[in-house]
Structure 1
Protein backbone atom coordinates (compact mmCIF):
# COMPACT_ATOMS: atom_id res chain seq x y z
CA UNK A 1 0.00 0.00 0.00
CA UNK A 2 1.28 3.44 -0.96
CA UNK A 3 0.70 6.57 1.09
CA UNK A 4 -0.27 9.31 -1.36
CA UNK A 5 -0.68 12.01 1.28
CA UNK A 6 -1.38 12.55 4.99
CA UNK A 7 -2.56 15.94 6.26
CA UNK A 8 -3.33 17.19 9.75
CA UNK A 9 -7.06 17.87 10.05
CA UNK A 10 -8.96 18.82 13.24
CA UNK A 11 -6.21 17.18 15.33
CA UNK A 12 -6.61 13.98 13.34
CA UNK A 13 -5.21 12.87 9.98
CA UNK A 14 -6.76 12.93 6.53
CA UNK A 15 -4.90 10.39 4.44
CA UNK A 16 -5.07 9.22 0.85
CA UNK A 17 -3.76 5.75 -0.02
CA UNK A 18 -3.30 3.63 -3.14
CA UNK A 19 -3.06 -0.14 -3.47
CA UNK A 20 -3.25 -2.93 -6.01
CA UNK A 21 -6.73 -4.47 -5.87
CA UNK A 22 -7.31 -8.16 -6.40
CA UNK A 23 -11.06 -7.51 -6.81
CA UNK A 24 -10.79 -5.01 -9.65
CA UNK A 25 -7.39 -5.97 -11.06
CA UNK A 26 -6.40 -2.30 -10.99
CA UNK A 27 -4.85 0.20 -8.64
CA UNK A 28 -7.47 1.67 -6.32
CA UNK A 29 -7.27 4.89 -4.29
CA UNK A 30 -9.19 5.68 -1.11
CA UNK A 31 -9.32 8.38 1.53
CA UNK A 32 -9.29 7.69 5.27
CA UNK A 33 -9.83 10.20 8.04
CA UNK A 34 -8.53 9.12 11.45
CA UNK A 35 -9.84 11.22 14.35
CA UNK A 36 -7.64 12.30 17.28
CA UNK A 37 -6.51 9.61 19.68
CA UNK A 38 -4.81 6.22 19.38
CA UNK A 39 -7.90 4.18 18.50
CA UNK A 40 -9.15 1.72 17.60
CA UNK A 41 -11.85 3.91 16.08
CA UNK A 42 -15.34 2.96 14.93
CA UNK A 43 -15.71 3.26 11.15
CA UNK A 44 -18.16 5.22 9.01
CA UNK A 45 -18.11 4.56 5.27
CA UNK A 46 -19.07 7.35 2.86
CA UNK A 47 -19.85 6.11 -0.66
CA UNK A 48 -19.84 8.79 -3.35
CA UNK A 49 -22.04 9.26 -6.39
CA UNK A 50 -21.85 9.37 -10.17
CA UNK A 51 -18.70 10.90 -11.72
CA UNK A 52 -16.99 11.04 -8.30
CA UNK A 53 -13.62 9.74 -7.15
CA UNK A 54 -12.55 9.18 -3.54
CA UNK A 55 -11.89 12.91 -3.37
CA UNK A 56 -15.35 14.46 -3.82
CA UNK A 57 -16.92 13.63 -0.48
CA UNK A 58 -13.57 13.84 1.29
CA UNK A 59 -13.22 17.48 0.19
CA UNK A 60 -16.83 18.65 -0.18
CA UNK A 61 -18.93 16.94 2.50
CA UNK A 62 -17.39 18.89 5.43
CA UNK A 63 -17.49 15.71 7.48
CA UNK A 64 -14.11 15.71 9.24
CA UNK A 65 -14.91 18.18 12.04
CA UNK A 66 -18.01 16.24 13.00
CA UNK A 67 -16.11 12.94 12.80
CA UNK A 68 -13.30 14.31 14.97
CA UNK A 69 -15.78 15.41 17.62
CA UNK A 70 -17.59 12.05 17.46
CA UNK A 71 -14.41 9.96 17.42
CA UNK A 72 -15.29 8.21 14.15
CA UNK A 73 -12.99 7.24 11.30
CA UNK A 74 -14.26 8.05 7.80
CA UNK A 75 -13.57 5.89 4.75
CA UNK A 76 -13.93 7.46 1.29
CA UNK A 77 -13.60 4.76 -1.42
CA UNK A 78 -13.51 5.40 -5.14
CA UNK A 79 -16.66 4.71 -7.17
CA UNK A 80 -15.17 2.43 -9.84
CA UNK A 81 -11.98 0.93 -11.21
CA UNK A 82 -9.95 3.20 -13.46
CA UNK A 83 -6.98 3.13 -15.77
CA UNK A 84 -5.70 1.91 -19.09
CA UNK A 85 -7.51 -1.17 -20.28
CA UNK A 86 -10.55 -0.58 -18.05
CA UNK A 87 -13.84 -0.39 -19.94
CA UNK A 88 -15.59 2.96 -20.11
CA UNK A 89 -18.56 4.69 -21.72
CA UNK A 90 -19.10 8.15 -23.14
CA UNK A 91 -22.11 8.70 -20.85
CA UNK A 92 -21.38 10.12 -17.39
CA UNK A 93 -23.62 7.53 -15.73
CA UNK A 94 -21.92 4.38 -17.07
CA UNK A 95 -18.39 3.02 -16.79
CA UNK A 96 -15.55 4.73 -14.95
CA UNK A 97 -16.98 6.86 -12.14
CA UNK A 98 -20.25 4.89 -12.24
CA UNK A 99 -19.62 1.45 -10.77
CA UNK A 100 -23.03 1.33 -9.02
CA UNK A 101 -21.52 -0.85 -6.27
CA UNK A 102 -22.23 -4.13 -8.09
CA UNK A 103 -20.08 -7.00 -9.35
CA UNK A 104 -20.42 -6.95 -13.13
CA UNK A 105 -20.95 -10.28 -14.85
CA UNK A 106 -21.20 -9.02 -18.45
CA UNK A 107 -18.56 -7.99 -20.96
CA UNK A 108 -16.76 -5.62 -21.24
CA UNK A 109 -17.33 -4.77 -17.59
CA UNK A 110 -16.81 -8.10 -15.82
CA UNK A 111 -12.98 -8.14 -15.67
CA UNK A 112 -12.70 -5.01 -13.51
CA UNK A 113 -16.07 -3.73 -12.28
CA UNK A 114 -16.27 -5.65 -8.99
CA UNK A 115 -17.19 -2.80 -6.65
CA UNK A 116 -19.45 -4.87 -4.37
CA UNK A 117 -16.60 -7.28 -3.61
CA UNK A 118 -14.16 -4.41 -3.25
CA UNK A 119 -16.30 -2.55 -0.69
CA UNK A 120 -17.73 -5.61 1.07
CA UNK A 121 -14.58 -7.73 1.32
CA UNK A 122 -11.24 -6.44 0.09
CA UNK A 123 -11.09 -2.88 1.41
CA UNK A 124 -12.32 -3.83 4.93
CA UNK A 125 -9.59 -6.47 5.12
CA UNK A 126 -6.95 -3.94 4.11
CA UNK A 127 -8.23 -1.31 6.55
CA UNK A 128 -8.29 -3.81 9.40
CA UNK A 129 -4.70 -4.85 8.72
CA UNK A 130 -3.20 -1.38 8.26
CA UNK A 131 -5.03 1.07 10.54
CA UNK A 132 -6.27 1.36 14.16
CA UNK A 133 -9.91 0.69 13.36
CA UNK A 134 -12.61 -1.20 15.22
CA UNK A 135 -14.14 -3.18 12.37
CA UNK A 136 -16.71 -4.67 14.72
CA UNK A 137 -18.35 -1.22 14.85
CA UNK A 138 -19.17 -0.01 11.34
CA UNK A 139 -21.77 2.33 9.86
CA UNK A 140 -22.36 3.28 6.25
CA UNK A 141 -23.74 6.28 4.39
CA UNK A 142 -23.50 7.74 0.90
CA UNK A 143 -24.80 10.27 -1.59
CA UNK A 144 -26.87 9.63 -4.75
CA UNK A 145 -25.40 6.49 -6.41
CA UNK A 146 -23.44 6.14 -3.18
CA UNK A 147 -26.66 6.36 -1.19
CA UNK A 148 -27.93 3.47 -3.32
CA UNK A 149 -24.73 1.58 -2.50
CA UNK A 150 -24.97 2.33 1.21
CA UNK A 151 -28.56 1.12 1.39
CA UNK A 152 -27.97 -2.07 -0.59
CA UNK A 153 -24.76 -2.97 1.23
CA UNK A 154 -26.34 -2.06 4.57
CA UNK A 155 -29.33 -4.31 4.04
CA UNK A 156 -27.51 -6.94 1.99
CA UNK A 157 -24.66 -7.63 4.42
CA UNK A 158 -26.60 -8.80 7.44
CA UNK A 159 -24.95 -7.92 10.74
CA UNK A 160 -22.10 -5.94 9.16
CA UNK A 161 -23.32 -2.41 9.90
CA UNK A 162 -24.76 -1.05 13.12
CA UNK A 163 -26.06 2.12 11.45
CA UNK A 164 -27.27 3.08 7.99
CA UNK A 165 -28.07 6.42 6.36
CA UNK A 166 -28.17 8.01 2.90
CA UNK A 167 -28.29 11.39 1.20
CA UNK A 168 -30.55 11.66 -1.89
CA UNK A 169 -30.13 7.96 -2.75
CA UNK A 170 -31.20 6.29 -5.96
CA UNK A 171 -33.98 4.37 -4.25
CA UNK A 172 -35.41 2.06 -6.93
CA UNK A 173 -32.84 1.60 -9.70
CA UNK A 174 -34.74 -1.31 -11.26
CA UNK A 175 -37.44 1.22 -12.22
CA UNK A 176 -35.20 4.21 -13.00
CA UNK A 177 -33.03 5.36 -15.88
CA UNK A 178 -30.34 5.51 -13.19
CA UNK A 179 -30.30 1.76 -12.86
CA UNK A 180 -31.97 -0.02 -15.74
CA UNK A 181 -29.30 0.90 -18.29
CA UNK A 182 -26.46 0.20 -15.86
CA UNK A 183 -27.86 -3.08 -14.54
CA UNK A 184 -28.51 -4.31 -18.08
CA UNK A 185 -24.91 -3.51 -18.98
CA UNK A 186 -23.26 -4.79 -15.81
CA UNK A 187 -25.56 -7.66 -14.77
CA UNK A 188 -27.38 -8.69 -17.96
CA UNK A 189 -30.99 -8.69 -19.10
CA UNK A 190 -32.37 -11.04 -16.41
CA UNK A 191 -34.05 -8.52 -14.11
CA UNK A 192 -34.30 -11.01 -11.25
CA UNK A 193 -30.53 -10.58 -10.84
CA UNK A 194 -31.02 -6.86 -10.28
CA UNK A 195 -33.20 -7.12 -7.19
CA UNK A 196 -30.34 -7.63 -4.71
CA UNK A 197 -29.22 -4.11 -5.69
CA UNK A 198 -32.57 -2.34 -5.38
CA UNK A 199 -32.99 -0.56 -2.03
CA UNK A 200 -36.78 -0.43 -2.23
CA UNK A 201 -37.01 -4.17 -2.92
CA UNK A 202 -34.60 -4.90 -0.08
CA UNK A 203 -36.59 -2.68 2.27
CA UNK A 204 -39.78 -4.54 1.32
CA UNK A 205 -38.26 -8.00 1.73
CA UNK A 206 -35.44 -7.65 4.27
CA UNK A 207 -35.32 -4.26 5.99
CA UNK A 208 -32.49 -3.20 8.26
CA UNK A 209 -32.07 -4.49 11.78
CA UNK A 210 -31.28 -1.03 13.17
CA UNK A 211 -32.46 2.50 12.44
CA UNK A 212 -32.23 4.05 8.98
CA UNK A 213 -31.91 7.79 8.26
CA UNK A 214 -32.59 9.07 4.72
CA UNK A 215 -32.52 12.73 3.66
CA UNK A 216 -33.42 13.97 0.18
CA UNK A 217 -33.81 17.55 -1.01
CA UNK A 218 -37.39 18.43 -1.95
CA UNK A 219 -35.92 20.68 -4.68
CA UNK A 220 -33.56 17.98 -6.00
CA UNK A 221 -33.05 18.64 -9.69
CA UNK A 222 -32.88 14.93 -10.54
CA UNK A 223 -36.31 14.49 -9.08
CA UNK A 224 -38.67 11.64 -8.50
CA UNK A 225 -38.16 10.17 -11.97
CA UNK A 226 -34.52 9.22 -11.34
CA UNK A 227 -34.26 8.94 -7.54
CA UNK A 228 -37.74 7.44 -6.96
CA UNK A 229 -37.66 8.61 -3.36
CA UNK A 230 -41.34 7.97 -2.71
CA UNK A 231 -40.90 4.26 -3.43
CA UNK A 232 -38.38 3.85 -0.61
CA UNK A 233 -40.29 6.15 1.72
CA UNK A 234 -43.42 4.11 1.14
CA UNK A 235 -41.58 0.83 1.70
CA UNK A 236 -40.12 2.11 4.99
CA UNK A 237 -43.56 3.23 6.16
CA UNK A 238 -45.24 -0.03 5.14
CA UNK A 239 -42.58 -2.09 6.85
CA UNK A 240 -42.50 0.07 9.97
CA UNK A 241 -38.76 0.42 9.53
CA UNK A 242 -37.23 2.23 12.55
CA UNK A 243 -35.65 5.54 11.60
CA UNK A 244 -36.68 8.50 9.49
CA UNK A 245 -37.25 9.37 5.83
CA UNK A 246 -37.07 13.14 5.39
CA UNK A 247 -37.71 15.42 2.42
CA UNK A 248 -35.82 18.63 3.14
CA UNK A 249 -37.56 21.73 1.78
CA UNK A 250 -35.54 23.93 -0.58
CA UNK A 251 -32.48 21.68 -0.88
CA UNK A 252 -31.10 20.32 -4.14
CA UNK A 253 -28.79 17.40 -5.00
CA UNK A 254 -25.47 19.16 -4.38
CA UNK A 255 -22.84 18.81 -1.70
CA UNK A 256 -24.22 22.00 -0.14
CA UNK A 257 -27.20 19.82 0.77
CA UNK A 258 -24.88 17.13 2.13
CA UNK A 259 -22.93 19.70 4.18
CA UNK A 260 -26.16 20.98 5.68
CA UNK A 261 -27.09 17.63 7.21
CA UNK A 262 -23.77 15.76 7.56
CA UNK A 263 -23.53 16.75 11.22
CA UNK A 264 -26.88 15.17 11.98
CA UNK A 265 -25.94 12.02 10.09
CA UNK A 266 -22.61 11.63 11.87
CA UNK A 267 -24.30 12.18 15.24
CA UNK A 268 -26.85 9.52 14.24
CA UNK A 269 -24.10 7.03 13.42
CA UNK A 270 -22.09 7.88 16.54
CA UNK A 271 -25.12 7.12 18.70
CA UNK A 272 -25.16 3.59 17.31
CA UNK A 273 -21.41 3.01 17.07
CA UNK A 274 -20.35 3.95 20.59
Structure 2
Protein backbone atom coordinates (compact mmCIF):
# COMPACT_ATOMS: atom_id res chain seq x y z
CA UNK A 1 0.00 0.00 0.00
CA UNK A 2 1.54 3.29 -1.14
CA UNK A 3 0.59 6.27 1.01
CA UNK A 4 0.86 10.01 0.59
CA UNK A 5 0.51 13.01 2.87
CA UNK A 6 -2.73 14.98 2.77
CA UNK A 7 -3.45 18.23 4.62
CA UNK A 8 -7.01 19.50 5.03
CA UNK A 9 -7.45 23.07 6.22
CA UNK A 10 -10.68 24.62 7.44
CA UNK A 11 -10.90 28.32 8.11
CA UNK A 12 -13.75 29.91 9.97
CA UNK A 13 -15.66 30.54 6.72
CA UNK A 14 -15.45 26.84 5.83
CA UNK A 15 -12.87 27.22 3.06
CA UNK A 16 -10.86 24.02 2.82
CA UNK A 17 -7.42 23.51 1.33
CA UNK A 18 -6.19 20.12 0.13
CA UNK A 19 -2.48 19.58 -0.44
CA UNK A 20 -1.17 16.40 -1.98
CA UNK A 21 2.46 16.03 -2.90
CA UNK A 22 2.92 19.79 -2.99
CA UNK A 23 -0.20 20.68 -4.98
CA UNK A 24 -2.78 22.99 -3.46
CA UNK A 25 -6.46 23.19 -4.29
CA UNK A 26 -8.73 25.83 -2.76
CA UNK A 27 -12.34 24.76 -2.34
CA UNK A 28 -14.83 27.66 -2.02
CA UNK A 29 -17.24 27.92 0.85
CA UNK A 30 -19.91 25.28 0.44
CA UNK A 31 -23.59 26.09 0.05
CA UNK A 32 -25.29 24.06 2.78
CA UNK A 33 -28.64 24.36 0.97
CA UNK A 34 -27.27 21.96 -1.68
CA UNK A 35 -26.77 19.12 0.80
CA UNK A 36 -23.03 19.14 0.24
CA UNK A 37 -20.66 18.14 3.00
CA UNK A 38 -20.11 20.80 5.59
CA UNK A 39 -16.32 21.10 5.55
CA UNK A 40 -16.21 23.35 8.58
CA UNK A 41 -13.76 23.28 11.49
CA UNK A 42 -16.38 21.22 13.35
CA UNK A 43 -16.38 18.63 10.57
CA UNK A 44 -12.59 18.31 10.78
CA UNK A 45 -12.83 17.84 14.55
CA UNK A 46 -15.43 15.13 14.08
CA UNK A 47 -13.42 13.37 11.35
CA UNK A 48 -10.31 13.49 13.54
CA UNK A 49 -12.20 11.96 16.47
CA UNK A 50 -13.59 9.07 14.44
CA UNK A 51 -10.33 8.34 12.60
CA UNK A 52 -8.50 8.03 15.89
CA UNK A 53 -11.01 5.37 16.96
CA UNK A 54 -10.08 3.46 13.80
CA UNK A 55 -6.32 4.03 13.87
CA UNK A 56 -5.58 0.30 14.05
CA UNK A 57 -7.15 -0.23 10.60
CA UNK A 58 -4.77 0.21 7.67
CA UNK A 59 -7.50 0.95 5.10
CA UNK A 60 -8.58 4.28 6.62
CA UNK A 61 -6.38 7.40 6.63
CA UNK A 62 -4.02 7.69 9.57
CA UNK A 63 -4.01 10.96 11.50
CA UNK A 64 -0.52 12.37 11.74
CA UNK A 65 -1.48 15.65 13.38
CA UNK A 66 -4.51 17.74 14.23
CA UNK A 67 -3.98 21.36 15.15
CA UNK A 68 -4.02 24.98 14.13
CA UNK A 69 -1.49 27.20 12.39
CA UNK A 70 -1.55 30.54 10.59
CA UNK A 71 -3.80 29.14 7.84
CA UNK A 72 -6.41 27.80 10.24
CA UNK A 73 -7.44 24.46 11.72
CA UNK A 74 -5.84 21.52 9.94
CA UNK A 75 -5.98 17.75 9.80
CA UNK A 76 -2.78 16.15 8.50
CA UNK A 77 -3.48 12.66 7.22
CA UNK A 78 -1.48 9.80 5.80
CA UNK A 79 -3.69 9.08 2.80
CA UNK A 80 -3.52 6.68 -0.12
CA UNK A 81 -2.32 6.81 -3.67
CA UNK A 82 -4.92 5.99 -6.29
CA UNK A 83 -8.35 7.56 -6.84
CA UNK A 84 -11.85 7.47 -5.45
CA UNK A 85 -14.28 4.93 -6.86
CA UNK A 86 -16.29 7.55 -8.77
CA UNK A 87 -13.18 8.75 -10.62
CA UNK A 88 -12.14 5.16 -11.35
CA UNK A 89 -15.65 4.41 -12.62
CA UNK A 90 -15.64 7.40 -14.96
CA UNK A 91 -12.16 6.59 -16.22
CA UNK A 92 -13.32 3.08 -17.09
CA UNK A 93 -16.31 3.96 -19.22
CA UNK A 94 -18.87 3.95 -16.39
CA UNK A 95 -18.57 0.21 -16.21
CA UNK A 96 -17.76 -2.12 -13.32
CA UNK A 97 -16.68 -5.61 -14.42
CA UNK A 98 -18.32 -8.51 -12.62
CA UNK A 99 -14.86 -10.06 -12.33
CA UNK A 100 -13.99 -7.24 -9.93
CA UNK A 101 -16.53 -8.61 -7.42
CA UNK A 102 -13.72 -9.45 -4.94
CA UNK A 103 -13.20 -5.69 -4.53
CA UNK A 104 -16.77 -5.39 -3.24
CA UNK A 105 -16.39 -8.46 -1.05
CA UNK A 106 -13.34 -6.89 0.57
CA UNK A 107 -15.18 -3.58 0.90
CA UNK A 108 -17.89 -5.32 2.94
CA UNK A 109 -15.27 -7.07 5.04
CA UNK A 110 -13.68 -3.72 5.83
CA UNK A 111 -16.99 -2.10 6.70
CA UNK A 112 -17.62 -4.98 9.07
CA UNK A 113 -14.34 -4.20 10.82
CA UNK A 114 -15.33 -0.53 11.08
CA UNK A 115 -18.66 -1.55 12.62
CA UNK A 116 -16.88 -3.88 15.04
CA UNK A 117 -15.01 -0.80 16.26
CA UNK A 118 -18.31 0.85 17.15
CA UNK A 119 -18.40 3.25 14.18
CA UNK A 120 -21.25 3.74 11.69
CA UNK A 121 -20.01 5.62 8.63
CA UNK A 122 -23.31 7.26 7.57
CA UNK A 123 -21.69 8.65 4.41
CA UNK A 124 -21.05 5.63 2.17
CA UNK A 125 -20.77 6.86 -1.40
CA UNK A 126 -18.61 6.55 -4.51
CA UNK A 127 -16.25 9.35 -3.49
CA UNK A 128 -15.67 8.01 0.01
CA UNK A 129 -14.54 4.59 -1.25
CA UNK A 130 -10.96 4.71 -2.51
CA UNK A 131 -9.35 2.47 -5.10
CA UNK A 132 -5.92 2.20 -3.52
CA UNK A 133 -3.29 1.94 -6.22
CA UNK A 134 -5.85 2.88 -8.87
CA UNK A 135 -6.86 -0.66 -9.90
CA UNK A 136 -9.95 -2.46 -8.54
CA UNK A 137 -8.33 -5.79 -9.39
CA UNK A 138 -5.79 -5.08 -6.64
CA UNK A 139 -8.74 -5.75 -4.31
CA UNK A 140 -7.69 -3.01 -1.89
CA UNK A 141 -10.47 -0.52 -1.08
CA UNK A 142 -9.86 2.36 1.28
CA UNK A 143 -12.61 4.17 3.19
CA UNK A 144 -12.60 7.94 3.79
CA UNK A 145 -14.47 10.76 5.53
CA UNK A 146 -15.89 9.79 8.90
CA UNK A 147 -17.13 13.18 10.06
CA UNK A 148 -20.77 12.11 9.87
CA UNK A 149 -20.10 9.10 12.11
CA UNK A 150 -20.19 11.44 15.11
CA UNK A 151 -23.80 11.85 16.24
CA UNK A 152 -22.92 14.83 18.41
CA UNK A 153 -21.62 16.65 15.35
CA UNK A 154 -24.67 15.69 13.30
CA UNK A 155 -27.01 16.94 16.01
CA UNK A 156 -25.24 20.30 15.91
CA UNK A 157 -25.72 20.82 12.14
CA UNK A 158 -28.64 18.76 10.93
CA UNK A 159 -31.73 20.70 12.05
CA UNK A 160 -33.67 17.69 10.77
CA UNK A 161 -31.84 17.70 7.41
CA UNK A 162 -29.65 14.99 5.95
CA UNK A 163 -26.29 16.19 4.64
CA UNK A 164 -24.98 13.04 2.95
CA UNK A 165 -25.21 12.17 -0.75
CA UNK A 166 -28.93 11.69 -1.59
CA UNK A 167 -28.14 8.93 -4.09
CA UNK A 168 -26.99 6.64 -1.28
CA UNK A 169 -29.01 7.69 1.77
CA UNK A 170 -30.99 5.04 3.65
CA UNK A 171 -34.69 5.61 4.35
CA UNK A 172 -34.14 5.94 8.09
CA UNK A 173 -31.16 8.25 7.66
CA UNK A 174 -33.20 10.52 5.42
CA UNK A 175 -35.52 11.01 8.38
CA UNK A 176 -33.26 11.14 11.42
CA UNK A 177 -29.56 10.34 11.77
CA UNK A 178 -30.04 9.22 15.35
CA UNK A 179 -32.13 6.26 14.15
CA UNK A 180 -29.45 4.97 11.76
CA UNK A 181 -27.25 2.03 12.74
CA UNK A 182 -24.90 -0.27 10.82
CA UNK A 183 -27.79 -1.43 8.64
CA UNK A 184 -27.96 2.10 7.23
CA UNK A 185 -24.44 1.59 5.88
CA UNK A 186 -25.58 -1.72 4.36
CA UNK A 187 -28.37 0.09 2.49
CA UNK A 188 -25.85 2.60 1.19
CA UNK A 189 -23.47 -0.16 0.07
CA UNK A 190 -26.40 -1.66 -1.82
CA UNK A 191 -27.09 1.70 -3.48
CA UNK A 192 -23.42 1.94 -4.42
CA UNK A 193 -23.47 -1.52 -6.02
CA UNK A 194 -26.70 -0.70 -7.84
CA UNK A 195 -25.07 2.35 -9.43
CA UNK A 196 -21.92 0.42 -10.35
CA UNK A 197 -23.82 -2.23 -12.29
CA UNK A 198 -26.87 -0.31 -13.52
CA UNK A 199 -24.87 2.78 -14.52
CA UNK A 200 -27.44 4.93 -12.75
CA UNK A 201 -28.46 5.53 -9.13
CA UNK A 202 -31.35 3.68 -7.51
CA UNK A 203 -33.55 6.77 -7.89
CA UNK A 204 -33.45 9.91 -10.00
CA UNK A 205 -35.57 12.95 -9.29
CA UNK A 206 -37.45 12.51 -12.59
CA UNK A 207 -38.16 8.78 -12.19
CA UNK A 208 -41.68 9.45 -10.93
CA UNK A 209 -44.60 10.73 -12.96
CA UNK A 210 -44.63 14.09 -11.17
CA UNK A 211 -44.18 16.38 -14.14
CA UNK A 212 -41.01 18.19 -13.12
CA UNK A 213 -40.19 21.26 -15.15
CA UNK A 214 -37.39 23.13 -13.45
CA UNK A 215 -35.97 22.27 -10.05
CA UNK A 216 -33.05 23.51 -8.04
CA UNK A 217 -30.31 21.11 -6.94
CA UNK A 218 -31.73 21.14 -3.40
CA UNK A 219 -35.26 20.37 -4.64
CA UNK A 220 -33.97 17.47 -6.74
CA UNK A 221 -32.06 16.10 -3.75
CA UNK A 222 -35.17 16.29 -1.57
CA UNK A 223 -37.22 14.39 -4.16
CA UNK A 224 -34.58 11.67 -4.37
CA UNK A 225 -34.47 11.31 -0.59
CA UNK A 226 -38.26 11.00 -0.48
CA UNK A 227 -38.06 8.19 -3.03
CA UNK A 228 -35.68 6.26 -0.79
CA UNK A 229 -38.39 5.90 1.84
CA UNK A 230 -41.53 6.03 -0.33
CA UNK A 231 -40.79 4.23 -3.62
CA UNK A 232 -39.94 0.58 -4.22
CA UNK A 233 -36.81 0.46 -6.42
CA UNK A 234 -36.78 -1.20 -9.80
CA UNK A 235 -34.94 -4.53 -9.39
CA UNK A 236 -31.35 -4.41 -10.59
CA UNK A 237 -31.94 -7.25 -13.05
CA UNK A 238 -34.58 -5.12 -14.80
CA UNK A 239 -31.99 -2.41 -15.39
CA UNK A 240 -29.12 -4.62 -16.49
CA UNK A 241 -28.39 -8.27 -17.13
CA UNK A 242 -27.03 -9.72 -13.88
CA UNK A 243 -27.36 -13.07 -12.20
CA UNK A 244 -30.09 -13.82 -9.69
CA UNK A 245 -27.56 -14.12 -6.87
CA UNK A 246 -26.22 -10.58 -7.36
CA UNK A 247 -29.69 -9.12 -7.92
CA UNK A 248 -31.00 -10.77 -4.74
CA UNK A 249 -28.09 -9.51 -2.65
CA UNK A 250 -28.30 -5.91 -3.91
CA UNK A 251 -32.08 -5.71 -3.54
CA UNK A 252 -31.96 -7.17 -0.02
CA UNK A 253 -29.62 -4.33 0.93
CA UNK A 254 -32.21 -1.88 -0.41
CA UNK A 255 -35.15 -3.06 1.67
CA UNK A 256 -37.01 -0.18 3.33
CA UNK A 257 -36.98 -1.77 6.76
CA UNK A 258 -33.54 -2.32 8.33
CA UNK A 259 -34.87 -5.60 9.75
CA UNK A 260 -35.32 -6.97 6.23
CA UNK A 261 -31.74 -6.25 5.10
CA UNK A 262 -28.54 -8.09 5.79
CA UNK A 263 -27.97 -7.45 9.47
CA UNK A 264 -24.21 -7.11 9.25
CA UNK A 265 -21.68 -6.28 6.55
CA UNK A 266 -20.20 -9.72 7.21
CA UNK A 267 -23.50 -11.34 6.13
CA UNK A 268 -23.45 -9.24 2.96
CA UNK A 269 -19.82 -10.18 2.34
CA UNK A 270 -20.69 -13.89 2.54
CA UNK A 271 -23.54 -13.46 0.05
CA UNK A 272 -21.38 -11.55 -2.44
CA UNK A 273 -18.61 -14.12 -2.14
CA UNK A 274 -21.04 -16.67 -3.62
CA UNK A 275 -21.86 -14.57 -6.68
CA UNK A 276 -20.84 -16.40 -9.84
CA UNK A 277 -18.70 -14.54 -12.37
TM-score, scaled to structure 2: 0.28
**As a proportion of its length, which structure holds more strand?**
1
Rg larger in 1 or in 2?
2
**As a proportion of its length, which structure holds more helix?**
2
TM-score, scaled to structure 1: 0.28
